[in-house]
Amino acid sequence: MSDLEDRLTAALNADAPPARDVRFRVDVLARLEQARFRRRVRMSVLVAAAVAVLAVVSAPMLGVWMADVQRLSIAAIGALAVLFTLLAVLLGRPAGVRTLVGAFGRWLYS
């Protein structure tokens, strides 16, 4: 049985990268970063599409809301509630003002 284990170990280690292969590490990090970038682009496109659909659906009502200050404030509070809810869903935890500002800062500038 030890001969079989030795041959199996030798076969598995035959194509293994060297212990300190810098190029291999850079390639792995590049693949991870590309995957992270793709996820962020997908999420950004989905959020932009949702906002666009919401804007198209609510555009006819904006004129009515803008005519009355009380309705405008209610619409602004509703928009903030939707924004906090969206952020909580994206982050997976309840959102506060600092969380909101930090997340948008990281999303826009990183």
Nearest Cα to Cα of residue 62 among 45, 78, 48, 85: 78
Residue 106: count other Cβ atoms within 10 Å of its Cβ. 9
Return the pLDDT at 83: 76
Return the pLDDT at 29: 92
Query: Domain coordinates of the chain in residue numbers?
Result: 1-56, 68-110
In which region does residue 92 sit, left (phi positive, over 0), alpha (psi from -120 to 50) or beta (all else)?
Answer: left
How far apart are the C-alpha atoms of 57 and 61, rounded to whole Å? 8
Going by pLDDT thresholds of 50, 70 and 90, the confidence category of residue 31 is very high
End-to-end CA distance of the chain: 54
State if pTM tops 0.85.
Answer: no
What stretches of the chain show up as alpha helix (H) in DSSP?
Answer: 2-13, 22-67, 69-91, 97-109
Query: Mean pLDDT across the chain, nearest whole number?
Result: 77
